[in-house]
Chain A
Amino acid sequence: MKLITSTLRPLASAAIFYYATLWLVVLVTVGTISQKYFGLQSSLEKYFSAWLIQPMDMPLWLPSGRLTMTIILVCLIAKLIVATKWKTQWIGTNITHIGVLLLMSGGVITAYTTTEGNIAIQEGKEASTFQDFHKLELAVTDRSHANHDDVTTFSDGFFTRDETFSDDGKIPLKFRVVHFYKNCKIVTRPAAAITSQHKGQAGKIQLEELPPDNDDRNLAGIELEISNATESENGYYLFLNHPQWVPTTITGSDGKSYDVTLRNRHYQLPFSIYLKDFEKLDHAGTMMARSFSSKVTVTEGKSSEDIKIYMNHPLRRGGYTLYQSSFDQSNPSGIETSVFQVVHNKGRLMPYIAIVVITLGLLIHVFMQVPRLLAKAKNKTN
């Protein structure tokens, strides 16, 4: 016990909080301005989700958002355990600090458990999977079965140079990453660099890395060396995460055909959504939207239910929340497409609890302190 206390004591320091928060101010400022030039997603990854940051690619590693906030959190926990005076005078401050602890714990849970993506459904169609906004996967589909497809996926955790991956139990193909870019463009491959090993599009083009797009419209691409296919099909292949990029069919050493494609990671929902109708209402006499709403039928097992999803009124079910987020009315036949944002977050209730606690704590503190601090000044000064 003493050991814990003596370890925590130096951590429970206002100075650590003070300098860590000053550094966080710097990160928040730079990370915000950076969004204009490098897009929200890449700024978020660099300044807020990452542990360390290398400013301007200098050989110098500084704490990024995640580490800075962890330091603040550790400092707060240490303060609460060893350095808190549990006296009436400090009741407001102490409650507030507990509230902040709850809020930050919610942040930790969210950071590690959230999946979010979207799902676009046409009127009259049904869907039960959604796609991650940013995470990618390499999907290998075995279409040899009569009534179902067997999909094997490899997450983007594998997508680092020279990494190899395979799934021996299910598919014979083996992969090695030659290049992977989160954002790239295609350029002609110089004739001298083309060998018989470059298959399909890889025989004509290659990828060139680009900085993150400032509107988050990134085109991810990967060049893979695939082996354990039929002898003539072993070699280098290119895959781009683009809707018009046709999956590449490769015959494995087992003689079966596999469709290989790079796509946003897919997740299965525990229920399915059927879109009956999407409606967009405008403010009278303008093109400005007043409301968006989607009438859907949600089917889970044998039960189904009719629900309307609209702005500020999401559908919550099985830990998933579906929000009306966008739409597409460009189809000339008049069939509209509704787009829902899908979020699964185990920490989502924490801010709700935290705000009650923090408000209570701050209110107590303000009521105890502010009247004294705004006291009459005149008789003292003159």
Chain B
Amino acid sequence: MPRILIILGLLIPCLATAQTQADPRSPQAETRNLSPDAGEILAPLAVQNEGRTKPLDSFARFNLLACYHQSKIGKISAADWLAQLLLDPNTAYEVKCFRIRNEDLLADLGLPKRDDGKHVYSFNELRKVIDDQRSRVQAVSARDKDERTLIESQLLKLYSTVHGYFSISRSFTCLTPEIVIDNAQLAQELKLPHGKPFSFFQLHQRRNTLRPLVEKLHAHYDGANPYHQAVLQLGTQLRDMQQRESHFASLTIIPPADDPILKTWLTPWQVLDGEHHATEHEIKAMTELEAAITALIHGDSTTATQHITTLQSVSSDKVNALAKAELSYNRLDAFTNSLAFYLFGFLLLCLSWLFAGKQLRWASWSVILIGLLLHTAGIILRMYIRGRPAPVTNIYESVIFVGFTCVLLGLIIEFRRRDGLGLIIAVIPGAILHFVGFKYAAEGDTMGRLVAVLDSNFWLSTHVVTITIGYGAASIAGLIAMSYLYVRLFNPNNKTLLQSISKNFIGVTLLALLFCIVGTILGGIWGDQSWGRFWGWDPKENGALLICLWLLIVLHGKWGKQLKELGIATMLSLTSITVLLAWFGVNLLGVGLHNYGFTEGAARNLAIACGSIFLLTVIPSVIIFIRDAAQAKTKAQAKT
């Protein structure tokens, strides 16, 4: 009898108790025959995640990046991986998709090392290991970030990734066929198939029929009666499922009736929550989603596509258009392709040197231009998706945009010079910054929401764009100056060439100075508009000031004759260091209002980059200096 009372609790559904451990039991019974194109069909579907709507394709990529550190597993796309995880979790749990890079962490967790050195594990291999770490993880996460060892931080990350993965996998369990009624009478009363699986959602839709049946049993329960047993069993299963599954489900895919951009979306389990009164709109979305899922599970792609289309019509056109645009953005992969063109262009340039081919150089110029057009297309698509008139709103976009500025400037310089120097200047930063961009993109969503203070289209499109162009121009000035040093090192007698290069770097320095100074003052004015002070010696402000001062020193040193050509080129070549410090370095200090883009391992990479620029500048510069001094001495001796 008490069990019946518990079941009654189900029909007055209760909140699931806090449960953090992955439950090894799964209600799934049958083996599923998924449509091979399930991933592609689900990919354009909009979901809300981390404060913004995005296509399921992006959601899949970011989650796969978190587990596998790549957005594909061999030939399996992220969307296919996610589709399997959502529609057929038991099979997906066998897929090896968790990559652990640190061998010390493996040893710490007692996981076997893989011979291929890749150390990739399936969820089933990890679940027990991870659950055993629960109390340790709690202890570690209670401590301050600075007081965690590397292994502990990585363990925390792995723990939350595995849990996140498991949560996603339980998102659709109220819509997939998980429940079977063996009793014909009960099946008939509930108008549900006898002996064939159906979903929790279908049963939930009949809760008003089920409730009186349970209440009737409450008065005279007979344990020997198969019908009574079936009702009890069904009730228990329902309660257990709701308690267990709804707690995990994390994919918010059911849009609200109005304002889907700003209002919160729900997970399918949240729609069925006892405390939530599902609207007609939500039930319609659930019905369509369930029909699509059922069709996909039975390999019926055509029906699934139809239902997905209807489901999309439930959401707003704006949301669908954005999701579609982002899907195109993902598939275009503009920055990877633009990198390919830059590298191919560089190859053509090298060939043009070997064969002294003017045509080859122009071919190289054109190929790099195609890369730049792709680069531009990627930036414009992002601006549309983010709904911002500014190409730069976060550090990732600043990397992409500085790359764009450098390539554009390089191509312009090449158009004027026509000797290949502009192409080198274009490709080197263009390619390096794409690689840096990939590093940032591998961290997850690059279109995350902005913190409130940055949410100003006017200032993003004036101050941020100007200062970013300034970074680009200053780097280009530095690179031209560095190439001057090498030309002078290996070809000291070609005075006209050296003179033309030195004119170029002064020209670009003036351009850089314009953008850096205007950008920096604009930043100050934004500060005055936002929190009442024009200048506060904040690290980012100081960084920008440092670039401006450095450029001013070089220019005034030239005019005041404190610096000769070698000194100007050396100082200017070091400008790239000031740019890197202002751009990335100040974030490492972890203080100030602009501290928005810190990445792990960044300090080391930054030190390597600055160190390399320093050596690449100082070594030729010192050699030239010594050589010139020696030559001057010989000349003087010859005279005497």
Contacts and interface: CB of A to CB of B under 8 A. Distances in A.
A358 B590 contact: no
Contact of B530 (A25, A48, A323): A323
Contacts of A290: 51, 262, 449, 452, 455
A162 B524 CA distance: 41
A375 B517 contact: no
Interface in A304-346: 311-312, 314, 321, 323, 325, 341-343, 345
A25 B416 contact: no
Nearest to A215: B591
A48 B265 CA distance: 50
Contacts of A283: 50-52, 449
Contacts, number: 203
Interface in A335-382: 341-343, 345, 348, 351-352, 354-355, 358-359, 362-363, 365-366, 369-370, 372-378, 380-381
Interface in B510-525: 510-511, 513-514, 517-518, 521-522, 524-525
Contacts of A363: 514
Binding site secondary structure of chain A = helix
B413 A374 contact: yes
B560 to A, nearest CB: 3
Given A15-B560, A18-B556, A351-B534, A311 B418 contact: no
Interface in B490-516: 494, 496-497, 499-501, 503-504, 506-508, 510-511, 513-514
A343 B528 CA distance: 10
Interface stretch (B165-173, B176-184, B385-393, B539-547): B539-547
A343 B530 CA distance: 11
Interface string B535-577: 1111100110110011011001101111000000000000000
Interface residues of A, number: 70
B562 A284 contact: no
A292 interface: yes
B419 interface: yes
Given A28-B542, A283-B51, A373-B506, A378 B535 contact: no
A288 B500 contact: no
In the complex, which of the residues A33, A35, A107, A292 has the most CB atoms of chain B within 10 Å of its own CB atom?
Answer: A35
Contact of A323 (B456, B514, B531, B589): B531
Given A341-B531, A351-B528, A355-B522, A21 B556 contact: yes
Interface in A137-188: none
Contacts of A25: 546, 549-550, 553
Contact of B456 (A29, A312, A369): A312
Nearest to B531: A323
B617 interface: no
Given A311-B453, A374-B504, A380-B500, A17 B52 contact: no
Contacts of B265: 284-285
Contact of B533 (A116, A282, A288, A358): A116
Contacts of B49: 285
Contacts of A110: 534-535
A291 interface: yes
Contact of B503 (A24, A314, A325, A375): A375
B136 to A, nearest CB: 26
B529 interface: yes
B510 A370 contact: yes
Contacts of A35: 539, 589, 591-592
B503 A32 contact: no
Interface in A1-49: 13-15, 17-18, 21-22, 24-25, 28-29, 31-33, 35-36, 40, 43-44, 47-48
Given A373-B507, A373-B510, A378-B418, A32 B539 contact: yes
A314 B529 contact: yes
Interface in B15-73: 48-52
A377 B546 contact: no
Binding site secondary structure of chain B = helix
B124 to A, nearest CB: 30
B532 interface: yes
B507 A21 contact: no
A381 B553 CA distance: 29
Chain B contact patch, size range:
35 or more
Given A25-B550, A373-B503, A373-B510, A289 B451 contact: yes
B559 to A, nearest CB: 6
Given A25-B550, A286-B50, A362 B513 contact: yes
Contacts of A40: 536-538, 591-592
B538 A107 contact: no
A311 B530 contact: yes
Given A311-B455, A314-B529, A354-B521, A17 B556 contact: yes
B263 interface: yes
B514 A362 contact: yes
Contacts of B559: 14
Interface string A106-126: 110010001010000000000
Nearest to A92: B510
Given A29-B542, A36-B589, 12 more contacts: A18-B553, A28-B546, A35-B591, A283-B51, A286-B50, A286-B51, A289-B452, A358-B517, A373-B504, A374-B507, A377-B504, A381-B497
Interface of B: 48-52, 252, 261-265, 412-413, 416-419, 421, 449, 451-453, 455-456, 459, 494, 496-497, 499-501, 503-504, 506-508, 510-511, 513-514, 517-518, 521-522, 524-525, 528-539, 542-543, 545-546, 549-550, 552-553, 556-557, 559-562, 586, 589-592
12 contacts: A14-B562, A21-B553, A36-B590, A44-B536, A106-B534, A284-B262, A288-B449, A292-B452, A312-B459, A366-B511, A378-B417, A381-B497
Top 9 A-B residue pairs of the complex, sorted by shortest distance between their CB atoms: A14-B560, A373-B507, A283-B51, A343-B532, A377-B500, A286-B51, A362-B514, A32-B542, A381-B497
